[in-house]
């Protein structure tokens, strides 16, 4: 079994840096997800020889990740599992560390 990880497309939070951490994708983020979905559906290879075979999609419950998975699924037609263990937690952990 191989596990491939893909980051979500660009989210509104990444652009605006507002309080809405669980924000949807921007239009660029949706286009990024469509390009990845197309690449995977059309015989993606990582080394030019062995085809990447995707058999399921697993996503965090955050909007940007779910939206990315749903767009990928327009190309791949696979079951999507929402996994709360994939949700980010305390992503600003470094802000709680001493600066010295």
Q: Give the separation between CA 13 and CA 84, rounded to whole angstroms.
A: 20
pTM over 0.85: no
pLDDT tens string 2-41: 899 999 999 988 898 877 778 899 999 999 999 999 999 9
Do the Cβ atoms of 52 and 92 come closer than 8 Å? no
Q: What are phi and psi of 11, to 5 degrees?
A: -105, 160
How far apart, in Å, are the Cα atoms of 6 and each of 9, 19, 58? 9, 24, 10
Delimit the domains of the chain by residue range. 12-86
């Amino acid at each position: 079994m191989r596990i491939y990880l893909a980051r979500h497309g660009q989210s509104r939070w990444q652009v605006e840096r507002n309080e809405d951490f669980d924000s949807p994708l921007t239009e660029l983020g949706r286009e990024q997800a469509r390009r990845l979905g197309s690449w995977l559906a059309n015989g993606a290879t990582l080394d030019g020889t062995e085809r990447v075979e995707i058999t399921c999609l697993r996503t965090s419950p955050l909007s940007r990740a779910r939206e990315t998975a749903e767009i990928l699924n327009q190309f791949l037609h696979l079951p999507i599992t929402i996994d709360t263990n994939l949700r980010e937690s305390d992503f600003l952990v470094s802000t709680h560390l001493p600066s010295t």
